[in-house]
Amino acid sequence: QEDRRNVALASAGATAAGGASPERLIDGKTDAYATTAWQSGQQFLVTLPKPLQVDMVRLLLWQTADRFSRYKVEVSSDGTTFFTVADRTQGYHCGWQTLAFPKQEVKAVRLTGTFDSSSDGRFNVAELEVLTPPTPIPLALGNALYELTATEKTYLPLCQAGNQPPPPQLRRMTPGSRL
């Protein structure tokens, strides 16, 4: 179980702008939608109270099989200069979308709907989450000794100190051999 934290909540000091009812993006609920007029280029902007290290954005689009959307997500460390982290301007997207990217400092997230298959001209989003990376778990290797060669022969870990032979369940790997 990862311990990611959604930092794009109004209760945590985040703000949302753009379109109709943008506060719905950051209320922590999934029962009502914020909307933009995608044909006129409207965008949502979620601003965090301060720049934070994040590596994932999740958003909840319309959740029916007969309707799909296309969109682009950009992030900014200063609220001015944005970089694209997800380009979903092709394909058929609906329901929960999970967008992972390299960990970086983020102050603002811009969501641009580029298409919605409904005839009403609206791009609908129920929730937008900005997630912190999981807390790293320290790995204690103890007295294990590892050897890896990238030549003809590759060996699995020698699990005992003093270069003793590996236990029977670990064996030498040669090119073409199988576990």
Lowest-confidence range among 89-98, 132-141, 153-162? 153-162
DSSP of 69-80 = EEEEEEEESSSS
DSSP 121: -
Diameter over CA atoms, the chain: 71
Res 142: pLDDT: 60
User: Which structure tokens are listed for 173?
Assistant: 């790997």
Strand partners, 155: 172
Model pLDDT for residues 2-19, shown as the tens digit of each residue: 789 999 999 999 999 999
The bridge status of strand 43-61 relative to strand 69-76 is unpaired
Res 178: pLDDT: 52
Which of 4, 11, 17 is CA-nearest to residue 108? 17
pLDDT, mean of residues 153-162: 39
- Amino acid residing at 95: G
- Look up the pTM and report it: 0.75
Q: What is the mean pLDDT of the chain?
A: 83
DSSP 12: G
DSSP of 75-99 = EESSSSS-EEEEEEEEEEE-SEEEE
Asked if residue 27 lies in contact with residue 14, where contact means CB atoms within 8 angstroms, the answer is: no
pLDDT, mean of residues 160-173: 44
User: Which structure tokens are listed for 70?
Assistant: 């296309």
Model pLDDT for residues 34-72, shown as the tens digit of each residue: 999 988 888 999 999 999 999 999 999 998 888 999 999
Terminal Cα-to-Cα distance of the chain (whole angstroms):
29
Query: How far is C-alpha 1 from the geometric centre of its chain's CA atoms?
Result: 16
CB atoms within 10 A of CB 41: 10
Rounding to the nearest 10 degrees, give the CA dihedral for residues 45, 48, 53, 59. Answer: -50
